[in-house]
Amino acid sequence: MNTKVTPSQLSQVDAFFEDALSRQAAPQAPVLPPLNRRQFFKLSGIAGGGLVLGGLSAGVTSKAAAAQAPADLSTLSPYVQIKADGRINIFSKNPECGQGIRTGLPLIIAEELDCAWSDVDVVQADIDQKKYGTQFAGGSTSTPTNWMPMRQAGATARAMILAAAAKQLKIDVAQLSTANSKVLHAASSREWPYSQFAELAATMPVPEANTLTLKTREQFSLLGKRYTGVDNHAIVTGKPLFGADTVLPNMVYASYTKSPQIGGLATSFNEAHIKSLPGVIDAFILEPFAEPRGFLSAAGQGAMFGGVAIVASSTWAAIKAKRELEVNWDLSKAETGTWDDLVARARAAVDQDGPMEVVNKGDVAGAMQSAAKVVSAVYEYPYISHAQLEPETTTALYTDGKIEVWAPSQMPQNGEAGLVAIMKVTPENSIMHQTRIGGGFGRKLANDYVFEAAAIARRMEGRPVKLQWTREDSMTHDYYRPGGLHSYKGALDGQGNLTAWQDHFFSHTLDGKAPMFASELSPTVFPQDVLSNVKVTQTLFQNAMPVGPMRAPSSNAFGFTFQSFLHELAVAAGKDHLQFLLGVLGEPRLANPEGRGSMHTGRARNVISAVAERAGWGKQMPPNRALGLSFYFSHSGYVAQVADVEVNAAKEVKVHKIWAVADFGFIHNMSAAESQLEGGMIDGLSQLFNAKITFNNGVIQQQNFHQYPLLRLPFAPQLDTHFLQPDEFPPTGAGEPSVPPLLAAVTNAIFNATGERIRKLPLSELGYKLV
Amino acid sequence: MATLRINGQARDIGNLDPSTPLLWVLRDELGLVGTKYGCGIAQCGACTVHLNGAPVRSCQIPVGNLTNEEITTVEGLAAADGTLTALQQAWIDHDVPQCGYCQAGQLMSATALLRNNPNPSDADIDAAMSGNICRCATYTRIRRAIKSVSTNRTAFYDASAQGDRV
């Protein structure tokens, strides 16, 4: 195999999200429905008729309008309704998985609508491509791709209210202005609530997008401050919000058991015994569908693994019966990979090039030959699991050729498409409702558990089925962050400048040709993008343990390896790490001018310089204690971090503090952005010390949190977060870019404190312990 | 026919399998879904409730073992008129939740801590909260919220340094 990837080609991960986003309404496209929908909806007495809720029991919050009976209500657009009592419903289109989007997107609409935030009730939009474009939570794209459409949605509704007010009051629209959900007439010092014009506004022509006047940043009255989540009250009072909180009349409960050796097929099981157990209603084998080892088919093609379903009268009865299940598995087509074997094979080949060329530019061999110093190192990181706290769950009802599901899915539109494939229903009869997601981190971009619930519901036609995965199901049947190895070589000239970069990357393939999802290396990862002499090759192991996107896919591993090796080079060059990094970045410019989403080296330099200043880079440190620096650019976001780390002789590591400076453009909700930055840093620390999934002969070895520990509160370090907000840049996503730099910031600090270079994860396997 | 005392009310649970963990009785039989399933082996704390005022993992308590105990769930923290506890309000004001799935369990652990120790040290907080995993890692805000309602509000965290724009 010898595949050439051109530098301009998008990475598989980027391409995937681009494809998902291609269905997004273009930023300049009208954000309102066609004319025939633009009419005044009097919703009194037709509860639910136009007021679509996120499930029967989910999506209802203190700030959500759902709980109350619809009062007189004027619908200005799919995003904005105004009630007679002055309350304003703003619809939130995308799935909420903790990133704060149910607060963030409605805030943007509210800003341009010029309403008081305290007047707003947030309603979860149902899945509707025509109304809302792409609805998904991934790639840190929700905020940047919706920034303009949401502003236009707010400005459109405001313009319709103003037009209605002008008509109703018989005052020239130019004499009217708005503020705090009110129309103002300065000349007469009069003001009226929006609700007074709402009924007429809903009948006004929808203005063209190019006629809208959007606010300047200085005119923002809402955006840029701190906002608490709209669902906080419902969360702290235990209201039903999440997938498994869905309750339907006559509902039954299901467990589903798949082959411990990935890809095994159930041929028979102790059916009579299982069916004799208390509470068990039915038990049956489900056949696999499509190619469930591939993330993309598990996301949107209905793919699911075969297994044994148990349907019972309660979750406990279904789980208890599952424990007594004895299944005969046909393992002839199951996975047989063993992680330790793959590592050994890779380590035997680290001195060679890989058969697949990822990038080859300049004259690497020449630069290596004429180098003053050549540095080489091999880095290794394991598979890791998403371990989101809410195990996979879906409630499904199949009746008469129609499938309806209530699911915590990061990609519900793909879920609906997948249901069409696996359930053989028409697209109109594939209906997915959004519930709050109890943690996604990329796991719930795959919809395999949704398809399983639907397939079980088909067998139980007419009865709603709630499928609940156990923690063990979740940990042993994930779409993992793939493990990998990098064999690096770097050339330094006599002045300590980095003149060439070489990498042999080891990862995985399903089809023997292309890397699996998140198992590839984009040609534009820094510093490949800024150097002239670069050669990157890849070896693909035929190993189809399921892998998929996990918070900052690829970057979450590359941040560790690339930024550690850059530090190794700085040390070999005898240069200060900060100065070396700034030197490699060079002058402020687009690193890859032809490519979309290119890093700007100036913005990179700014976050690095700022974090160094905040942390006091270069200051005298106590013995056994040092600062470590790292930087990574991903998802259009720039994050630099400095960790203050102390290591004692027993290899106990105390992380005293971590500073982070991020450039995500304009921050419209400071609280949510800070939460994402802090959460991502601690997520990275958790991965660094403890996270490792292994497999032997295709069987995942870790079952639950005692074998896969997550970081707990006592170990959370002090965090200092700061955002640069350059005026000219709109917001980018904050969910992912905070993770990648963290690991190397800490391991570089460990090197600076002890002289020991960390080239393998997790640290617990090297005798280190976080204290 | 068995009865449980939950959030101050007697709740009839019929003739349930006595091995059923309290967690599933709350969720499936009584519609109290605020208490969450996370791991089933007392590792994550998402299912934490109070048993006679003490935080316990409801996934580990067979309902058959319960007789006259007083059980409190997250739904029972606020007053009957809906008034939140100071800690619930602090959770909202400090914007603690991200996904929110673990937060009922976090609140139950923190509530029990403060009831017994209104002025917890950092070490007290560490000890009381180490059984509750937050995968989103809201730990710095959990600390801050607990500190904000403790009687001696020691600043663990300087919010003024966090770059408010407005």
Q: Which positions 568-597 of A are in contact with B (Cβ < 8 Å)?
A: none
DSSP-assigned beta bridge partners for residue A398: A403
Please give the residue of chain B at the shortest CA–CA distance from A387. B135
Cβ–Cβ below 8 Å for A679 and B27 = no
Same domain as A680, residue A618: yes
Residues of A in contact with B84 (CB under 8 A): 233, 236-237
Measured from the Cβ of residue A582, the count of other Cβ atoms closer than 10 Å reads: 17
The model's pLDDT over A677-699, given as tens digits with 9 standing for 90+, comes to 999 999 999 999 999 999 999 99
Option in B24, B99, B138 nearest A437 (CB): B99
Determine contact, residues A769/A586, Cβ cutoff 8 Å: no
Question: Phi first, then psi: what are they for A121, rounded to 5°?
Answer: -110, 130
Residues of B in contact with A706 (CB under 8 A): 41, 43
List the single best residue of B87, B129, B140 to mutate versus A (max A Cβ within 10 A).
Answer: B140
Per-residue exposure over B15-31, b if at least 16 CB sit within 10 Å of its own CB, e if not: ebbeebbbbbbbbbbbe
> Token pair for residue A319?
């789980």
DSSP string, A250-308: T-EEEEEE--SBTT-EEEEE-HHHHHHSTTEEEEEEE--BS-TTSHHHHHHS--B--EE
Give A199: exposed, middle or buried? Use CB within 10 Å, 0-12, 13-18, 19+.
middle
- The pLDDT, as a whole number, for residue A3 is 42
* A503 belongs to a structural domain: no
- The pLDDT, as a whole number, for residue A40 is 25
What is the rounded average pLDDT of the residues B8-26?
95
Cβ–Cβ below 8 Å for B91 and A236 = yes
Answer whether residue A535 shows pLDDT above 50. yes
> Token pair for residue A34?
């066609």
Least Cα distance to A466 among A285, A245, A308, A302 occurs for: A245
Residues of B in contact with A229 (CB under 8 A): 95, 97, 100
Rounded to a whole number of angstroms, the distance from the CA of A321 to the nearest CA of chain B is 12
Determine contact, residues A39/A418, Cβ cutoff 8 Å: no
- A594 band by pLDDT with thresholds 50, 70 and 90: confident
What is the rounded average pLDDT of the residues A699-719?
98
Q: Which positions 466-485 of A are in contact with B (Cβ < 8 Å)?
A: 468, 470-471
- CATH code that applies to domain B86-155: 1.10.150.120
Number of C-alpha atoms within 13 angstroms, CB side, residue A55? 30
The model's pLDDT over A310-364, given as tens digits with 9 standing for 90+, comes to 999 999 999 999 999 999 999 999 999 999 999 999 999 999 999 999 999 999 9
Q: Indicate the SS3 state at residue A102.
A: helix
**Is A116 within 8 Å of chain B by CB?**
no
- Among the CATH numbers 3.90.470.20, 3.40.50.300, 3.10.20.30, 3.40.1440.10, which is that of B2-76? 3.10.20.30
Residues of A in contact with B34 (CB under 8 A): 237-239
DSSP A488: E
* A309 belongs to a structural domain: yes
List the single best residue of A61, A97, A237 to mutate versus B (max B Cβ within 10 A).
Answer: A237
Q: Whole-angstrom Cα distance, residue A557 to residue A552?
A: 9
Q: Whole-angstrom Cα distance, residue A248 to residue A240?
A: 12
**Cβ partners under 8 Å of residue A393, min gap 6:** A243, A244, A407, A408, A449, A453, A466, A467, A468, A469
Answer whether residue A66 shows pLDDT above 80. no
Pairing mode of beta strands A498-509, A534-542: parallel
- The pLDDT, as a whole number, for residue A408 is 98
Same domain as A270, residue A211: no
The model's pLDDT over A7-17, given as tens digits with 9 standing for 90+, comes to 344 566 677 77
Q: Indicate the SS3 state at residue A169.
A: helix
> Token pair for residue A625?
């204690």
Option in B27, B29, B137 nearest A679 (CB): B137
Same domain as A132, residue A190: yes
* A547 belongs to a structural domain: no
| CATH code (residue A675) | 3.30.365.10
Task: Return the amino acid letter for A330.
Answer: D
Cβ–Cβ below 8 Å for B93 and A228 = yes
Same domain as A717, residue A626: yes
Determine contact, residues A172/A185, Cβ cutoff 8 Å: no
Residues of B in contact with A682 (CB under 8 A): 137, 139
**Is A104 within 8 Å of chain B by CB?**
no
Q: What is the ipTM of this complex?
A: 0.94
- A145 band by pLDDT with thresholds 50, 70 and 90: very high
Please give the residue of chain B at the shortest CA–CA distance from A681. B137
Cβ–Cβ below 8 Å for A241 and B100 = yes
Same domain as A711, residue A600: yes
Tell which of A476, A509, A528 closes a domain.
Answer: A476
Q: Whole-angstrom Cα distance, residue A283 to residue A8?
A: 51
Q: Whole-angstrom Cα distance, residue A602 to residue A729?
A: 13
Tell which of A236, A262, A280 closes a domain.
Answer: A236
**CA-based torsion, A464, A469, A474, A478: positive or negative:** negative
What is the rounded average pLDDT of the residues A557-561?
98
Q: What percent of chain A clears pLDDT 90, i.e. is strictly above it?
A: 89
DSSP B25: I
Q: What percent of chain B clears pLDDT 70, i.e. is strictly above it?
A: 90
**Cβ partners under 8 Å of residue A656, min gap 6:** A625, A644, A645, A646, A717, A718
* A380 belongs to a structural domain: no
Answer whether residue A46 shows pLDDT above 80. no
- Which residue reads 């009922």 in tokens? B104
Measured from the Cβ of residue A101, the count of other Cβ atoms closer than 10 Å reads: 22
Option in B35, B136, B140 nearest A98 (CB): B136
Rounded to a whole number of angstroms, the distance from the CA of A68 to the nearest CA of chain B is 17
- B166 band by pLDDT with thresholds 50, 70 and 90: very low
Cα A231 to chain centroid, rounded: 19
**Is A231 within 8 Å of chain B by CB?**
yes
Give A679: exposed, middle or buried? Use CB within 10 Å, 0-12, 13-18, 19+.
buried
* A126 belongs to a structural domain: yes
- The pLDDT, as a whole number, for residue B68 is 84
Same domain as A406, residue A271: yes
Answer whether residue A576 shows pLDDT above 60. yes
Residues of B in contact with A100 (CB under 8 A): 98
Task: Return the amino acid letter for A436.
Answer: R
Arithmetic mean of pLDDT over chain A: 92
**How many cross-chain Cβ pairs, A to B, lie less than 8 Å apart?**
212
Same domain as A222, residue A248: no
Cβ–Cβ below 8 Å for A278 and B17 = yes
Domain region containing A305: 243-334+386-476
Residues of A in contact with B136 (CB under 8 A): 98, 439, 675, 679
Cβ–Cβ below 8 Å for A716 and B137 = yes
Tell which of A178, A202, A236 closes a domain.
Answer: A236
* A327 belongs to a structural domain: yes
Please give the residue of chain B at the shortest CA–CA distance from A392. B38
Q: Whole-angstrom Cα distance, residue A17 to residue A527?
A: 23
- The pLDDT, as a whole number, for residue A15 is 72
Answer whether residue A5 shows pLDDT above 50. no
Q: Indicate the SS3 state at residue B153.
A: coil
- A130 band by pLDDT with thresholds 50, 70 and 90: very high
Same domain as A298, residue A216: no
Return the domain boundaries, chain B.
Answer: 2-76, 86-155
Same domain as A766, residue A664: yes
Q: What percent of chain A clears pLDDT 70, i.e. is strictly above it?
A: 91
Option in A253, A670, A719 nearest B140 (CB): A719
Same domain as A224, residue A258: no
Residues of A in contact with B27 (CB under 8 A): 244, 315
Same domain as A206, residue A300: no
Cβ–Cβ below 8 Å for A232 and B130 = no
- A593 band by pLDDT with thresholds 50, 70 and 90: confident
List the single best residue of B88, B108, B113, B135 to mutate versus A (max A Cβ within 10 A).
Answer: B135
The model's pLDDT over A459-495, given as tens digits with 9 standing for 90+, comes to 999 999 999 999 999 999 999 999 999 999 999 999 9
Q: Whole-angstrom Cα distance, residue B42 to residue B56?
A: 9
- A4 band by pLDDT with thresholds 50, 70 and 90: very low
Determine contact, residues A582/A39, Cβ cutoff 8 Å: no
* A506 belongs to a structural domain: no
List the single best residue of A217, A389, A656, A770 to mutate versus B (max B Cβ within 10 A).
Answer: A389
Answer whether residue B159 shows pLDDT above 50. no
Least Cα distance to A217 among B22, B166, B54 occurs for: B166
Helix (H) or strand (E) holding B107: helix B103-116
* A596 belongs to a structural domain: yes
DSSP string, A333-360: TS----HHHHHHHHHTTTTS--SEEEEE
Cis peptide before B55 (omega within 30 of 0): no
Determine contact, residues A677/A662, Cβ cutoff 8 Å: yes
Cβ–Cβ below 8 Å for B97 and A236 = yes
Same domain as A294, residue A222: no
> Token pair for residue A682?
């601690």
What is the rounded average pLDDT of the residues A399-406?
98
